[in-house]
Structure 1
Amino acid sequence: MTSQLHRAAAFEALHARPGMFLMPNPWDVASAKLLAGLGFEALATTSSGFAATGARADYQVTRDMTMAHIRTLAEATSLPLSADLENGFGDRPEDCAETIRLGAEAGLVGGSIEDFTGNPAEPQYPLEAAADRVRAAVEAARSLPFRFMLTARAENFFTGIPDLADTIRRLQAYQEAGADILYAPGLRSLADIRSVISSVDRPVNVLARPKALPVSLQDLQAAGVKRISLGPLLFNTAYGALVAAGKELLQAEGFGFAGLARSGDELIAMMAKA
């Protein structure tokens, strides 16, 4: 098994090399192994996808549950693993720092801290408090014996505050707090993405949302995006296929869905490549 030190070095190198890379989001051992077997170079957890595996909504899993899930995925492949660590599982900077340390112990070489509070009355932490939380996470990451890539997220477009100027101010503050990667999920246009990238000097992650943001991977790379993550897209696609197959069966329409099926032997052979 590849050591955590080597995974960390590989993950840092992906961010340093020219061009863009894709970081898909598995939700269990099988999906992690399949994605590794297909040739992806790094993986990231999906908080909503993982929650849905237990029939829960996003933000309904505990830190202990998340850490157990991270450990399972980290042991599944030799690829670098980053994680959606939500808001650090607590409001205090100390909570964010502890979450980074626990994530590293579980096998992570990267992870994100977001500024979403979970409180509908005040969905984002005030800027100064949000930056303090990122700073504490960065300090925890820098205390580790390997390079941990810390992503800071500005949740404006996911919290009903689609203010691009405030999003950029937040990302700039998180950059100053030491974040390695910046991320504003939910940006609505290629122009928004270009504005973010031109306003910061850290690698920028973009969330793939084909229906809401119908732009090509080539367009995103040309705009200067460093990293594409998919969030729950693969999970939703897989389970969407299951729902479609079930409806086809119930409506006695046949087995058209089987055209996408792979044999068990083929899937196991692909997983073995991980």
Structure 2
Amino acid sequence: MSQADKAKQFAALHVKGEPITIYNIWDAGTAQAVTKAGAKAVATGSASVAAAHGYEDGEKIPLSLVEIVASRIAESVEVPFSLDFEGAYADSPADVKANAARIIKTGAVGVNFEDQKVNGSGLYSVDEQCARISAFREAADEAGIPFFINARTDMFLNEPDASKHGGLVGEAIERGKRYAEAGASGFFIPALSDADQIAKICEIAPLPVNAYMMKGMPEIAELGKLGVSRVSFGPGPYREAMIDLKRKAESIL
């Protein structure tokens, strides 16, 4: 399939109530392994890619290296591939657009694109992030690729007190609506684990909702009943693999 066809296929996998499960990978080898296990699509977690190459998360791994890794993954599997692109290594919409064009050329058909200020403080305002999403969409349109921009809000991730998450749901829904108008394809809500709150966002937000599997989350089947369209595991698979590798190495060494 062409890159454009893979992008269309990836979007079609996001079905409300029947979520696609993403068991996140970090290189071409893990992409191939997960694909052989039956994955319909593969996607990275930024922390996993960074750690696998000796870097910390938060855009510490050079963008040029991310391009190489993304290209190798895209070339190694036939299924759609989405990259966790953090904040696009950019602040201004112009720089977002330039970096988006670089990632689109790797063969990826989607990205996670977050609204927190990576290596900064707080979140971009709704207007600022909408301008950034629109710039990303412009790059995709110019490339002729119906790119899947999974707009991530870090509202819940940045609030460690889960008891306060209910008070953030209304603003999150507003961000989801505005992000959709700006050209986003999906809405990612990591760290929100309350079933009723997830269901409310799925009911009102106009985009397919991506939930993140973490401690305290409902099971995948339950998330489907809540209206979720995508479930991802983030850096969990990498951490588990490294624990297993260390244990096996210790038993030998």
Same fold (TM over 0.5): yes
Q: Aligned partners of 1:150 and 1:68: how far apart in 2?
A: 20
Q: Which of the numbers 158, 166, 175 marks the counterpart of 1:170? A: 175
Contact 1:141 1:150 in 2 (8 A): no
CA-based RMSD: 1.9
Structure 1 residues 199 and 106: alpha-carbon distance in aligned structure 2, compared to 1, 3 A threshold: same
- 1:222-262 Cα shifts (integer Å, max 9, x gaps): 01100111111111111121233345567xxxxxxxxxxxx
Q: Which of the numbers 230, 237, 241 marks the counterpart of 2:240? A: 237
One-letter amino acid matched to 1:243: K
Contact 2:17 2:226 in 1 (8 A): no
Structure 1 unaligned residues grouped into runs of 5+: 251-274
Structure 1 residues 50 and 203: alpha-carbon distance in aligned structure 2, compared to 1, 3 A threshold: same
Aligned to 1:272: none
One-letter amino acid matched to 1:126: S
Aligned to 1:197: 202
Contact 2:7 2:109 in 1 (8 A): yes
**Normalising by the residue count of structure 2, what TM-score does the alignment of the two structures yield?**
0.90
Shift of 1:112: 2.1
Larger Cα Rg: Structure 1 or Structure 2? 1
Q: How many matched pairs?
A: 246
Q: Aligned partners of 2:16 and 2:229: how far apart in 1?
A: 9
Aligned to 1:65: 65
One-letter amino acid matched to 1:36: T
**Normalising by the residue count of structure 1, what TM-score does the alignment of the two structures yield?**
0.83
Q: Aligned partners of 2:85 and 2:98: how far apart in 1?
A: 11
Pairwise mapping of residues 115-134 of structure 1 onto structure 2 (< 5 A)? 115-120=115-120, 122-134=121-133
Contact 1:85 1:99 in 2 (8 A): no
Q: Aligned partners of 1:21 and 1:150: how far apart in 2?
A: 16
Contact 1:150 1:180 in 2 (8 A): yes
Structure 2 unaligned residues grouped into runs of 5+: none
Q: Aligned partners of 1:17 and 1:192: how far apart in 2?
A: 16
Structure 1 residues 243 and 191: alpha-carbon distance in aligned structure 2, compared to 1, 3 A threshold: farther
Shift of 1:62: 2.1
Between 108-117 and 139-148, the greater mean CA deviation after superposition = 139-148
Structure 1 residues 231 and 40: alpha-carbon distance in aligned structure 2, compared to 1, 3 A threshold: same
Contact 2:17 2:224 in 1 (8 A): no
Aligned to 2:228: 225
One-letter amino acid matched to 1:181: G
Q: Which of the numbers 165, 168, 186 marks the counterpart of 2:191? A: 186
Between 17-26 and 89-98, the greater mean CA deviation after superposition = 17-26
- 1:8-29 Cα shifts (integer Å, max 9, x gaps): 2321221258722112211122
Q: Percent identity?
A: 28
Contact 1:27 1:50 in 2 (8 A): yes
Shift of 1:61: 1.1
Q: Aligned partners of 2:159 and 2:19: how far apart in 1?
A: 29
